[in-house]
Amino acid sequence: MSRFHVPSVVRPGAKQAIPTGRRTGSAARGRPHRRMLKFGTEYVSRSLAEYEAEVREKLERGLRRKARALGYELVAVAPASPPPS
């Protein structure tokens, strides 16, 4: 058996794992699903336009916050009209 297969607890001078107190990724991802199964939730159907509006609002809010932190102010501009053909 190679040294790689020997548990780190057995190896002399091996670093021990330090517990962080955080949940593992799988538990954190499973928590909302277990809650939905336990208490039940209604399925919410959103249109693509509603979803895109929500994402755009969140992005804009984040940009405003970052601009404010840098000392700038985010100002909306009118969309450019297409060139005449």
Where do we find the tokens 């940009």?
Answer: 63
pTM: 0.44
Confidence of residue 64 (pLDDT cuts 50, 70, 90): very high
Domain ranges (residues) in the chain: 46-74
Helix, strand, coil: what percent of the chain each, to 5? 45, 0, 55
**Contact yes or no for 11/3 (Cβ under 8 A):** yes
Q: 3-state SS of 33-50?
A: HHHHHHHCCCCCCCCHHH
pLDDT computed for residue 78 by the predictor = 86
pLDDT value at 49 more than 60? yes
pLDDT computed for residue 68 by the predictor = 95
pLDDT computed for residue 72 by the predictor = 94
